[in-house]
Amino acid sequence: MNLIYNSEHYSVVEFGAEAGLEAMQFGGYEIFDKPGKREIFIAGPLAEAFRQNVIQLIATQPSVEEIDDFLGNYDSLMRQPVTLH
């Protein structure tokens, strides 16, 4: 588990690939929408597509606002509320 992005609005945690688990063959990402107090975990092909899109985005040396806008594309998929135990 590795925190790869943290802003006022979003955090992204990367989970490494795991051999033998098809859903985790590309690893996974947990994206937190801080103001909305919700999150999504993506794995498998969606995680690989996310990784490739992030690589392309980083190549443009984006601002925090541009990264947050990119992560905002996942807002409609975020259904899991963030709760503390």
User: Which domain does 21 fall in, by range?
Assistant: 2-81
pLDDT value of residue 45: 85
Taking the model in full, what pTM does it have? 0.81
SS3 (DSSP) at 52: helix
- 26-69 pLDDT tens trace: 678 999 999 999 999 998 888 889 989 999 999 999 999 999 99
At 61, phi and psi to the nearest 5? 50, 65
Q: What is the DSSP letter of 76?
A: G
Average pLDDT of 14-35?
Answer: 75
pLDDT value of residue 24: 53
Total structural domains within the chain? 1
